[in-house]
Structure 1
Amino acid sequence: MAFPQPNAQREIANRKILEELQLKKQLLLKQGVASTLNSSALPVLGSTPVQGSDGHSMNSVQRAALQTANTQSTGFFISQDSSFVMFPCLKLKHIEERLQCISEFEKPKILLEQYVTPSHLGSHMLYTIQSQYGDIGGKLVADLGSGCGALSVGAAVLDAALVVGFEIDSDALSTYLENVIDHEVANIDAVQCDVLKNLPRRFDKLFNTVLMNPPFGTKHNAGIDMKFLETALRLSNNAVYSLHKSSTRDHVLKYADSLGAKGEVLAELRYDLPSSYKFHKKNSVDIKVDFYRFLV
């Protein structure tokens, strides 16, 4: 697992990780998952979504699990399309319980806009990605700006072939490592780098799926969310799933289109952003965020 190292050794470590990724991909292909790793066999816009093995119906136990999750969690989804369907079930509850145990930033850095994705929203995002599109199980997944690893751990729990987190902050990566160890997930690796400046081009189109909750560009870094999107589209050979402020929806869709990607708002999220920094005057702020799927 590649975590903080001296700068002189970082490029060598990243090169080694890339070689290991290629070897793991070849091994997965030999083991009979070629269809999941072949970009030509991946879902396309308009294709029939993958149905979860648990089906559409809820039994009493599943309904109780959903009610418990909703009462104990912050935030909720507002569907933007009739085809967007969540299947509340025990597996969803299991994912949320995992994410509730994720260790958070000890001293979040404002310039990096470090906030943890709420477990309720993160679990629903990940479950939707897998149950509706089959874009996690058996896939090579990148978590861009992975932070403490909530989305990485969730994707690993959903049986991704391999998840690679990309993160610039060594403190965040230390917490990421703690979470990987605590959750006993072996199908995770990480790379420390600035994804906007020195991410090796050899990672281009290596991943089936890219996940990210990027900085929104609200603190002296306007436009950084679009730079993250551009990098994510460069890494993916299939789909990118991302969060962006609802107020920027028109701009995000137009920018994605200019990059040759088809963007779709899967859901509108509402959640309370807890007070994390000294300049915060309120205990929490209600933020409207869109959950996107971009096809490359």
Structure 2
Amino acid sequence: MSTIETGNEANPTDINLEVETGSLPVETPEPEPEGFDIVIAGEDEKPKQDPATNAKYAAQRLERKRLRELEQTLAAVKRGELPETLRVTPESPDQPPSIDDYFSDAALEKYGFDTARAQAAFQAALGVWQVKATQEHTGFAAKQAQKVQEYEAKSIEQTQAINRHYDSAEKLNLPDYQEKEDALAAMTAPDVVTGIMQLFPEKSAAIIYHLGSNPELTKRLNALPSQQAMIELGRLDAKLTLKPRGKAVSAAPMPDEPLNGQATAANLASLQKKMEEAADKGDVETYRKLKNQLKGVK
């Protein structure tokens, strides 16, 4: 088989074809783009993505819409523009004392028609009301500040989790991933997509893509109580696996062989097994490292 080495594709002299002398010209097929398909473990489905289309869009970065939405909301909160979900409702203080309650004919009769006593009683009642109103306002401000601080701390954790999710999603090279995520977001409550990103860090991209591709399944999950829906998502997390494009997912167990030091032909089976395990877990980084070691064996 011929080997093509390209340094600068614009200069044809940089292309080196290694073929046997006297042999016929050999057509070198273009390498199949790397990436993964989302499949149910045990089901040998055909890839849903066209390799040519995938190659065209693989280099494009995802829009990271959920991350942008979170960052925009957080920025608004820091400016003091609080959404209703973050607003603390202040307790309505009692009405201040009315002067009529102290200087009407009936009220003055209680004080022996002594306006000085009535005035003193009114000032005392007004002072008590002012202290109570100040305490209620201080308590409200403290509660509001605490709620904002909790939201900001939670948002930082969410931002980190969502960033990790999108980093993993980009490595899958799914050209229509953003389309599927948007479809799922349109069918569910606002926090469902980001919740999946946080609760299922290893396979969040696969779960979101699968649910966005299967609206009927998403509708069934929406109809379930929250706890039951979480159980079903956990089952889906266990079922979904990554299948390298162009390769079937083998159900046959691979023999266990220790992997020590540099990869050699003796541990080829072990490398292949570890690659399948990484694919099952959605660990793209480990999968590609093992793949590079496997190339050294072959």
The TM-score bracket by the shorter chain reads under 0.3
Select the structure with the greater relative contact order (CA < 8 A; seq sep ≥ 6): 2
More strand by share: 1
Query: TM (normalized to structure 1)?
Result: 0.26
Query: TM (normalized to structure 2)?
Result: 0.26
